[in-house]
Amino acid sequence: MARGFCHRHGNERPCSCSMGNIYRYVEPVTLYLLKLKGRAYGYELGNYLREHALTDSEVDRAALYRTLRQLETNGFVTSEWDIGGGGPARRLYALTQAGVDHLAEWLVVLRQMAGAMNRFVDDADKLIVSDTKDLQTAATVENE
């Protein structure tokens, strides 16, 4: 999906097959930020990325630049050089309609993943908590 295609589910539906790892969720956050800001260049996005990241991990600028080029190759964003305003030339990116659609697909997947994670955590928590209770009971018994 990160490359526009999952070879297991094809295009039948958005899936999280190759989404667990590809660029550590840089892609959806980048799409989101572009949607939010209208247009932006990579270096700038790199600064906002951190606060919207889905994990604790630092986002490698190299990964961001590569993701942007990849997104462009796939037709999800367009770019043009911006020479003007002082400093080195910057590449201005903007979302395409396909990009918006792709973001929407990511949202389906991420919502589903978040749901699965929450259910998992709840289930696992119960298991562990019941354990703690046992220990407390044991301790109480021991103290009598």
Residues that bind DNA (CB under 7 A): 2-3, 7-8, 17-18, 20-24, 41-44, 57-58, 60-63, 65-66, 68-69, 86-91
Where would I find the H helices in the chain?
26-37, 42-52, 61-73, 97-142
| DSSP conformational letter for 6 | B
Question: 8 vs 12, which CB is nearer to DNA?
Answer: 8
Instruction: Classify residue 23 as left (phi > 0), alpha (psi -120 to 50) or beta.
Output: left
Smallest gap from Cβ 55 to its own copies, in A, equals 4
CB of 120 to DNA, least distance (A): 17
Q: Quick check: 96 binds its own copies (CB under 8 A)?
A: no
- Interior angle at CA 46, CA 84 and CA 77, nearest 5: 70
The entry of its own copies, DNA, none near residue 44 (CB within 5 to 8 angstroms by kind) is DNA
